[in-house]
Amino acid sequence: MSVDYYIPPPRKYLSLWRGEILAPDYRAHTIRAIVDLIAERRGLKPSEILSRSRRRPVVYARQEVMYVARSIRRDDGTPRYSYPDIGRRLGGFDHTTVLHGVAGHCKRHNLGHPDDA
């Protein structure tokens, strides 16, 4: 399974509940680092998030990863990861699955959609 080059995550660098990425170097974060952080926060294994499991806790964690990955922007304001790219890196999901996951996470947590910014 292809994922970004792994960078070990520092323990206090992201605030994800409101979708705000607070680290000064957040643009360097890879999807794998985001998966590791959210898996740790939710008490899951990273391999569970990267699996095809449809258990609710795993799906919600995977959708949070999708939301955070889509929220990361380049310097010019465009998303760093496209929907197809996020789906591929999370185990081969279709871009519409990622779009649905991002929308579901936004609705569950009363957040604005990252593409509306």
Its pTM stands at 0.77
Cα of 57 vs its chain's centroid, Å: 15
Asked if 30 contacts 7 with a C-beta cutoff of 8 angstroms, the reply is: yes
Give the residue among 92, 60, 72 at the shortest CA–CA distance from 29: 72
For the stretch 24-82, pLDDT in tens is 455 556 888 899 889 989 999 999 999 999 999 999 999 999 999 998 888 888 888 99
For the stretch 72-115, pLDDT in tens is 888 888 888 999 999 999 989 999 999 999 999 999 999 888 88
